Amino acid sequence: KPIIIWFRKDFRLADHAALSEASRSGRPIIPVVLLDEIVETFGAAPKWRLSQAIEHFENRLKQVGSQLILRRGTAAVELLALAQETGAGDIWWTRAYDPKAIVRDTKVKTTLKDAGFEAKSWPGHLLFEPWAVKTKQGGFFKVYSPMWRAVKDLDVAPPDPAPQRLLAPEFWPDSDRLQDWALDKDMDRGAHVLTQHANVGESAANARLANFLRGSIGEYKDRRDFPAQSATSRLSENLTWGEIGPRTVWHAGFRALQEGQRGAEHFLKELVWREFAYHLVFHTPEITHKNWRSEWDAFPWSDHEDEAVLRWKQGRTGVPLVDAAMREMYVTGHMHNRSRMIVGSFLTKHMLKHWRIGQKWFEECLIDWDPAANAMGWQWVAGSGPDAAPYFRIFNPETQAQKFDAEQTYIQRYLAEKASDPGPEAMAFFDACPRAWGLSPDDPYPTPIIGLAEGRQRALAAYEAR
């Protein structure tokens, strides 16, 4: 009897526990992707990036004699129908940990089991299952550093190699065509702008890792905070879609550490931030939508999406580093980590807007959008999360620019209004943004929506009065 493998955010053949086991079993394998109730809710950029991942994966599967089946509808209904149609015995998938996915997957499991099928979820999205890592008292970690100390010496099994060939079923069930799903329909800028910055597929992800290990890892610790420099791995996009497995990245980082590469330990620590985000999301699912610390519920953050919020989204706040960062995200689908912290601080502190507004816009625009890292990142910036930056730590975008973009390379790369001879990235924004915004690179650069000192004082006063 065939095994159905339901791919969700694990578009790879290597380092894939479920696929390896299925291929070892000698049984036929039917790989499937669903446009289900959760994918329907993805933001525009993640949907577009997902379609790229699927397209590449379809080709990759063909190379090993297989085929990707595409079905649209509620996950439990579609998987049950497919299992009945193909006579499959088992339905397997790589586990997800965010609250929406858990609700869906639980429903899928019960539906399939009630109908007599074997449904099984596998590890693979993380290095450590969130329930397997515990504090000395047996609880979960609310602070990052002790979690790092608890996991850094744990054994991580070596990644499984990619199967050379997948056994095909006697007949292939019908499949939708990817283009009929129109996952790019809200993403006009996908094909002509974002595509130049995306790095899609398993082999591209591996090449990116190899490149990082050959190059920037040595200087990662010293240069990772400078947004104009390509000093970080940029693997978040591939880890998000599972085009590379975390075990592969971990082992590669570990080898670099043993070879004495400076920066390797710091890199491994960042991978554990990703684990920490999932640890938190699993143990406190409300982190995705509610202040993790409820004392923040009374804080006067505004939910109102006014003109100021629009200008923040457009990169027109009049604060160059904030604006460059927002444009970086709009045209590349990525934003440097330091910039994420700066635009987040500006929104939630200088502008006194709720972090959920920022969380939502990132969800719309990031090709590495991840429900756990995004939620933790926003609550960290806002000060409402566990192990968060204190609210009174307000990033000053001017000082940040002097420190981390002293030559204004980043600002000028993304902000046409600030460059004498704007380059392609700066101009791409005007090509990409909706006509309704009515923006032109010749517009004068706007005056700040709020003075930096005034915004800071207002934020601190709100904090004191809370």
Footprint on this chain of ligand FAD (rule: CB under 6 A): 224, 232-236, 239-240, 270-271, 273-274, 277, 337, 340-341, 344, 362, 366, 368-370, 373-374, 377-378, 381
The minimum distance between CB 287 and ligand FAD, in angstroms, equals 13
Apex CA 326: angle with CA 321 and CA 332, to 5°? Answer: 120
Integer CA distances (angstroms), 86 to 6, 98, 111, 170, in order: 14, 30, 17, 9
Number of residues that make up the chain: 466
The residue number whose beta carbon is nearest to ligand FAD equals 377
The minimum distance between CB 355 and ligand FAD, in angstroms, equals 8
When the beta carbons of 160 and 368 are compared against ligand FAD, the nearer one is: 368
The minimum distance between CB 436 and ligand FAD, in angstroms, equals 26
- Please report where in the chains the tokens 């960062």 appear, as a residue: 325
When the beta carbons of 67 and 337 are compared against ligand FAD, the nearer one is: 337
The minimum distance between CB 233 and ligand FAD, in angstroms, equals 3
When the beta carbons of 4 and 126 are compared against ligand FAD, the nearer one is: 126
When the beta carbons of 60 and 356 are compared against ligand FAD, the nearer one is: 356
Distance from the first to the final alpha carbon of the chain: 62
When the beta carbons of 23 and 94 are compared against ligand FAD, the nearer one is: 94
When the beta carbons of 90 and 425 are compared against ligand FAD, the nearer one is: 425
When the beta carbons of 6 and 144 are compared against ligand FAD, the nearer one is: 144
The minimum distance between CB 463 and ligand FAD, in angstroms, equals 19
When the beta carbons of 11 and 117 are compared against ligand FAD, the nearer one is: 11
When the beta carbons of 66 and 240 are compared against ligand FAD, the nearer one is: 240
The minimum distance between CB 179 and ligand FAD, in angstroms, equals 27
The minimum distance between CB 94 and ligand FAD, in angstroms, equals 16
The minimum distance between CB 391 and ligand FAD, in angstroms, equals 15
- Identify which of 398, 7, 46, 378 has the alpha carbon closest to the alpha carbon of residue 236: 46
The minimum distance between CB 200 and ligand FAD, in angstroms, equals 15
When the beta carbons of 57 and 378 are compared against ligand FAD, the nearer one is: 378
The minimum distance between CB 64 and ligand FAD, in angstroms, equals 27
The minimum distance between CB 216 and ligand FAD, in angstroms, equals 9
What is the 3-state secondary structure of the chain?
A: CCEEEEECCCCCCCCCHHHHHHHHCCCCEEEEEEECCCHHHCCHHHHHHHHHHHHHHHHHHHHCCCCCEEEECCHHHHHHHHHHHHCCCEEEEECCCCHHHHHHHHHHHHHHHHCCCEEEEECCCCCCCCCCCCCCCCCCCCCHHHHHHHHCCCCCCCCCCCCCCCCCCCCCCCCCCHHHHCCCCCCHHHHHCHHHCCCCCHHHHHHHHHHHHHCHHHHHHHHCCCCCCCCCCCCHHHHHCCCCCHHHHHHHHHHHHHCCCCCHHHHHHHHHHHHHHHHHHHHCHHHHCCCCCHHHHHCCCECCCCHHHHHHHHCCCCCHHHHHHHHHHHHHCCCCHHHHHHHHHHHHHHCCECHHHHHHHHHHHCCCCCHHHHHHHHHHHHCCCCCCCCCCCCCCHHHHHHHHCCCCHHHHHHCHHHCCCCCHHHHHHHHHCCHHHCCCCCCCCCCCCCCHHHHHHHHHHHHHCC
When the beta carbons of 370 and 417 are compared against ligand FAD, the nearer one is: 370
